[in-house]
Amino acid sequence: MQEMSRLAEDLRDLAANEQNFVLRVVQPGLAGLMDGSVSTLAPLFATAFATRNPHTAFVVGAASAVGAGISMAFSEGLSDDGELTGRGKPVMRGLVTGAMTFVGGFLHTLPFLTSKLWLALDLAYGVVGLELIVISWIRFRYLQTSFLRSCLQVMLGGALVFASGVLIGQS
């Protein structure tokens, strides 16, 4: 309970200072969202194309999102105590990164709850496109990256991972 109170206090402090907010919330959240949105594409789409079974793809996608979220939470939380870099408390960064990694991986998994593979794939393509646009907008808004350049970079990374999943799934 006391830890939750400290986390709430940390969030209030961060909101008061945009630079701290970017460093301690936006950057770890963006790293998580990017990782979850991109790294889970290959196992999800490889499974969908290999098995032609939406339920199996959903299970693999959900497991990938959960596993990636846990992995990224620990990775971010253990990578830096925050003192040297000023990036804030490791528990907070780990929670933000892990949660956003899960969200990024799970959103494009949800369409596979349908029993129709091709409908699930079409919906998932759309969700992935929206995820990549949101990532590009966050980079534009908080990191002063050109929106067009950000879209191209993010979509290139997503396309490479997606293509690897499709190629592996069809082999």
pLDDT value for 97: 94
Angle between helices 27-39 and 41-51 (to 10 degrees): 20
At 149-167, the pLDDT tens digits run 998 988 888 888 878 878 8
At 53-95, the pLDDT tens digits run 999 999 999 999 999 999 999 998 888 777 777 777 888 889 9
Distance CA(32)–CA(136), nearest Å, equals 14
| Residue 149: how many other CB atoms lie within 10 Å | 12
Q: Which domain holds residue 97?
A: 2-170
| Residue 115: how many other CB atoms lie within 10 Å | 10
Contacts of residue 111, Cβ cutoff 8 Å, sequence gap at least 6: 119, 120, 121, 122, 123, 124, 127
Structural domain total, the chain: 1
